[in-house]
Structure 1
Amino acid sequence: MAQLITVENGKALPDARSEVAYAAEFFRWYAEEAVRAPGEFGSAPSGANQIIVSHEPIGIAVLVTPWNFPAAMATRKIAPALAAGCTCILKPAAETPLTALAIGELMRQAGVPAGVVNIVSTKKAGPLVSAMLHDKRVRKLSFTGSTGVGRILLREAADQVVSCSMELGGNAPFIVFDDADLETAVAGAMVAKMRNGGEACTAANRFYVQKGISADFIRRFAEEMAALNVGPGLAPDTQLGPLITDAAVAKVERLVDDAIAKGARLVTGGSRLSGEGFYYLPTVLANVSPDAEILREEIFGPVAPVIVFDTEDEVVDLANDTEYGLVSYIFSRDLKRVLAVAGRLESGMVGINRGVVSDAAAPFGGMKQSGLGREGSHHGMLEYLETKYIAVTW
């Protein structure tokens, strides 16, 4: 499975192996959650009747997944749908249909009845998804992708009042305070930035480093980035594979060139890798201007722009200055400070002294333009359940 993922989207094989393990964990988790759909029983305040609250499957669910995690994004949706009792139709990204088809075959082998999990691949995603959303039998849409496409699908879903879960774009701030452990912060930065080669909605997009530690952090971070081995995903020593398309490389080039034109200092990287393939060198930029496009757009590549800050209030304002609110990262030894800052950040998830927040047992999702609803944990199964209230007089 890992080899198939790497062949389809280029990620380094170690990243692909990690994704397969993560994808399997959703089935493990929701196999247990399937018997834990919540219910309530109580008495009305008047004493006239009893109140029963139950949950039942919402109905047919349309699941639309991206190319960057073709296995994990599929199982993160299929598993809670099945646990809730829903049938589903998975529409994978046109770039990575084979991984989705392989998961469908594994589910058939595991005994999932015919017609319960359906895989439909297409290069014409818009018309297909629109047709499904306008079928009255469809009652749920779960989408992972860009905020722009998410807005379009929300408008489409409104026609039939389809319940929507939307995991959309991100612009994650990575905050390092002066009192942070430097080794921990650099290691966390490498994971938060370079997981899946930076092609992740949870990837650290803006690095805010307090002045006292900034020079050491930038130096160490750049050394680690420059040391990464770039090459074909299946090669045994590859740590960073190619980006998904030439257009993805062109976007990264545009953002880096704009930042440098506006005064950023190139510390390492900053160009395509010579030769064939969609490769871009791991890049660190320092002294990035506040008006640089790279601080506004989701990079989706191996580029880390670094901005130096002075005060806690300043960095909170900078971190929140975005339409997105998926995840934030904070590094500091001061527990009181990090919890206080975490409470002020406008993001659905916060990683404290760690560069990964994704966990099948935790609620994954964002605020603002980063989405609606949650995936993972028991919250993820509730997205596929309708609440029913029954008033009973004995």
Structure 2
Amino acid sequence: MTATFDVLDPATRAVLAQVPDQTAADARAAVDAAAAAFPAWAATAPRVRAEVLRKAYELMVADTDRLAALISAENGKSQADARAEVAYAAEFFRWFSEEAVRSEGDYSTAPASGATTIVTHQPVGVAALATPWNFPAAMATRKIAPALAAGCTVVLKPAAETPLTALAVAEILTAAGVPDGVVNLVTTTDAAGVVTAWLEDDRVRKISFTGSTPVGRTLMRQAADRVVNASMELGGNAPFIVTADADLDAAVAGAMIAKFRNGGQACTAANRFYVHEDVAEEFVARFGKAVEALRVGPATDADNEIGPLIHERAAAGVRLKIEEAVAAGARIAHQGTAPDDAHYVAPTVLVDVAPDAAILQDEIFGPVAPIVTWRDEADMVRMANDTDYGLAAYLFAGRLQDALRLADRIEAGMVGINRGLVSDPSAPFGGVKQSGTGREGAREGLREYQETRYYSVELI
């Protein structure tokens, strides 16, 4: 009898479903299916692959209500956030349906030899995908869509906290016409065992992982043993910068999105606020008023804007960060209200935060905004870059010239300028430093699942 594990609603701890707790042997069987399906799928005309992905987009949009409810149930995020995720996730199917037919090559004459050079792109092969719990639909489609567009087959391990959304996405792909064996899911509580089985399998030629930097480092070491093509979207520690001449209404609106989307449980979430001292008091007052007005509670109430954190351990860790920051000299300037439940954290604004405070060093992954004031631009840039991470950053400034000049000095793969959102399927998502390697979305996202080859031809 196959073992199972419970999928829980973080708001109520009720059991939503039981899913198979699969093993390394199941992981290898998934590769068997993917490897068997690969030749036919790789040979499928790009237009056919594109139409399948377009159909998946249409089916996903049509199923928004059910998918959003499922995301809210197993992830805990608000209904508004869940619906936004469905729209974002579906867009990857549409975007890569269009990219599937535009895998251009090159034809040229070598200057030295006179030989004809033909450059082409071919699917890398079986791709192993591992996704996190915080965006269970979008992180799956962001990987599956370009892989299928390129002609790869995939094996996917969703997070144990949120496997139901991934299963629903797989059902949509089947309904859209994806052949058997092209997309294979493995649900498990043994993430390390399953992914290791894939990385040790010679037929797996690609690993794409979204998750923490420590786990990413481990997977990169494992991938190096067989020189497997690896894409890693890892942790972040995004600065949110407000200059003296920034539009404060726009900055506050951007901060509410950048910090509190999904309750702060996002690798792109604003983690450290650097506000010019000339406008700090006014920014904190306006921002704090908006924070105090946030509605916190279960997603069963459509008016709630922030739900529970994914589990009690995560919430306890965030509350501990607040307590330690206060003990080190920070002050709670504004705080919302939250249910008296171990899974919830009240949205919090901290001021008088020292530039070297511990809370600024790592991802908070919760609804807490620590604010540091600055006067000297060079000092602010140094503080913003004083981290091992470089995924996203946010910058609000009055003059676009100043904003672009500052953005060039910020060490991040993505910079939101006068807006609090950087994610877009048409843009290359990814970071620098220890925030990962490779890009997802845009043309770059397709290239992650392709090998570039060329033929040197002597025309006789």
Report the TM-score range of the alignment, normalised by the length of the smaller protein.
Answer: over 0.9
DSSP-derived class of the 2:121 partner? strand
DSSP-derived class of the 2:299 partner? coil
Distance in 2 separating the partners of 1:265 and 1:196: 24
AA in 2 matched with 1:266: I
Equivalent residue for 1:165, pick from 218, 226, 231: 231
User: What's 1:9 paired with?
Assistant: 75
DSSP-derived class of the 2:365 partner? coil
Tell me: higher relative CO, structure 1 or 2? Use CA pairs within 8 A at least 6 residues apart. 1
User: What's 2:102 paired with?
Assistant: 36
User: What's 2:424 paired with?
Assistant: 359
Distance in 1 separating the partners of 2:114 and 2:397: 55
User: What's 2:433 paired with?
Assistant: 368
User: What's 2:140 paired with?
Assistant: 74
DSSP-derived class of the 2:111 partner? coil
User: What's 2:401 paired with?
Assistant: 336
1:323 matched to 2:388: yes
AA in 1 matched with 2:441: G
AA in 1 matched with 2:369: A
Root-mean-square deviation (Å): 1.0
List runs of 5+ in structure 2 lacking aligned partners: 1-66
Equivalent residue for 1:117, pick from 171, 178, 183: 183
AA in 2 matched with 1:354: R
AA in 2 matched with 1:203: A
User: What's 1:182 paired with?
Assistant: 248
AA in 1 matched with 2:452: T
Distance in 2 separating the partners of 1:355 and 1:109: 35
Q: Indicate if the aligned counterparts of 2:390 and 2:431 stay in contact, CA closer than 8 A.
A: yes
Q: Indicate if the aligned counterparts of 1:77 and 1:142 stay in contact, CA closer than 8 A.
A: yes
Identity %: 60
Equivalent residue for 1:265, pick from 331, 339, 360: 331
DSSP-derived class of the 1:159 partner? helix
What are the equivalent positions in structure 2 for 1:1-394 lying under 5 Å apart?
1-269=67-335, 273-394=338-459
TM-score normalised per structure 2: 0.84
Cα offset for 1:275? 2.8
Cα offset for 1:48? 3.0
C-alpha distance after superposition, 1:124-160 (max 9, x if no partner): 0001100111100000000000001000101111111
Cα offset for 1:67? 0.1
Cα offset for 1:234? 2.2
Q: Indicate if the aligned counterparts of 2:257 and 2:420 stay in contact, CA closer than 8 A.
A: yes
Q: Indicate if the aligned counterparts of 1:141 and 1:164 stay in contact, CA closer than 8 A.
A: yes
DSSP-derived class of the 1:341 partner? helix
Cα offset for 1:104? 0.4
Distance in 2 separating the partners of 1:41 and 1:205: 47
Distance in 2 separating the partners of 1:126 and 1:95: 15
Distance in 1 separating the partners of 2:363 and 2:317: 10
When structure 1 is superposed on structure 2, of 12-21 and 231-240 the one drifting more is 231-240
AA in 1 matched with 2:326: I
- Give the aligned length: 393
Q: Indicate if the aligned counterparts of 1:259 and 1:289 stay in contact, CA closer than 8 A.
A: no
Cα offset for 1:47? 4.1
Cα offset for 1:277? 4.7
Distance in 2 separating the partners of 1:343 and 1:276: 43
Distance in 1 separating the partners of 2:379 and 2:226: 44
Distance in 2 separating the partners of 1:340 and 1:302: 30
List runs of 5+ in structure 1 lacking aligned partners: none
Distance in 1 separating the partners of 2:342 and 2:386: 35
Distance in 1 separating the partners of 2:353 and 2:91: 39
AA in 2 matched with 1:36: R
User: What's 2:21 paired with?
Assistant: none
Distance in 2 separating the partners of 1:169 and 1:293: 17
Cα offset for 1:363? 0.2
TM-score normalised per structure 1: 0.98
Q: Indicate if the aligned counterparts of 1:258 and 1:292 stay in contact, CA closer than 8 A.
A: no
Q: Indicate if the aligned counterparts of 1:329 and 1:355 stay in contact, CA closer than 8 A.
A: yes
C-alpha distance after superposition, 1:89-143 (max 9, x if no partner): 1100000000000000011111100000111110000011001111000000000
